[in-house]
Amino acid sequence: MSKIVLYGPIAAPFTRKVQGALALKKLPYEFIEPQSPEDYRRWNPETGLLPLIDVDGDRVHDSAHILDLLDARFPDPPLVASDPKVAQSQRRLEQWAEAAFTFYWIHYLRGLVNADEGGPPSHPGLAGEFAQRLDDLVNFLGARPFFYADLPGRADLAVWSYLSGLRQAVGPEVADVMETRVALIEHSARVSALANG
Ligand SMILES: N[C@@H](CCC(=O)N[C@@H](CS)C(=O)NCC(=O)O)C(=O)O
């Protein structure tokens, strides 16, 4: 039995994505959360970013690289489809989700801080643009239970980790925009049932 230790902040989507992958693969692991900013650099001297995983002494950081490592070491079930074209779409959507939703998350949080300080919101059109990104996802999903496939994969974990975190982290305006995208709510529920360990 391999010894797996995951280091990361529990609230971060990148950490949740890796936890979802470990749950899908039914891999037991120890989870250690940072207690101070110094822990990030101490655990990952290369970039100072978490999550980082240690599998039997091999340490890998960056959630996408961690999923690659998990698939290489523990291939069942795989996190990408066996069809290379579908696998490419799943990887692309994973990257798209990170780029798109990190942007909205940061701008939303910055807007909250600005509002607290009496300044203008940093990005007034945010909710409208965010709604468009959600509609993009609804289109990508189409009638399938998971993105591009009938089985869950890394694209599902990436989208789920962002959307479940966003629903908790942001205010009612954005949460409302999400509630009306029923296909995404149902997708999140399907992934949660499998990836919440
Ligand atoms: N692309 C990386 C992003 C990791 C990342 O941004 N982690 C954040 C946690 S939310 C972090 O470590 N931030 C600490 C910092 O920026 O100093 C991944 O997928 O793991």
Q: Which of 49, 70, 95 to mutate to test the pocket of ligand 1 (most atoms within 8 A of CB)?
A: 49
Query: Where does residue 124 rank: exposed (0-12), middle (13-18), buried (19+ CB within 10 A)?
Result: exposed
Q: Are residues 112 and 136 in the same domain?
A: yes
Helix (H) or strand (E) holding 4: strand 4-7
Q: Are residues 95 and 129 in the same domain?
A: yes
- What is the atom index within ligand 1 of the atom nearest the CA of 15? 20
Domain-terminating residue out of 73, 98, 120 = 73
Query: What pLDDT is attached to residue 122?
Result: 55
Give the pair of three-digit tokens for residue 190.
């399907």
Q: How far is the CA of 51 from the centre of ligand 1 (A)?
A: 7
Which residue, chain included where needed, has tokens 């990836």? Answer: 195
Query: What pLDDT is attached to residue 106?
Result: 75
Domain-terminating residue out of 73, 99, 122 = 73
8 A C-beta contact, residue 111 and residue 121: yes
| Residue range(s) defining the domain that contains residue 126 | 84-195
Q: Are residues 160 and 129 in the same domain?
A: yes
Residues with CB under 6 A from ligand 1: 9, 12, 14, 40, 48-51, 62-64
Q: pLDDT by residue (tens digit) across 110-143? A: 766 676 666 655 556 667 778 888 999 999 999 9
- What is the atom index within ligand 1 of the atom nearest the CA of 37? 17
Q: Are residues 186 and 118 in the same domain?
A: yes
38-54: average pLDDT:
97
Q: Are residues 69 and 128 in the same domain?
A: no
Strand partners, 54: 5, 59
Q: pLDDT by residue (tens digit) across 76-98? A: 999 999 999 999 999 999 999 99
The model's pTM is 0.91
8 A C-beta contact, residue 66 and residue 51: yes
- What is the atom index within ligand 1 of the atom nearest the CA of 62? 20
Distance CA 194, CA 91 (A): 20
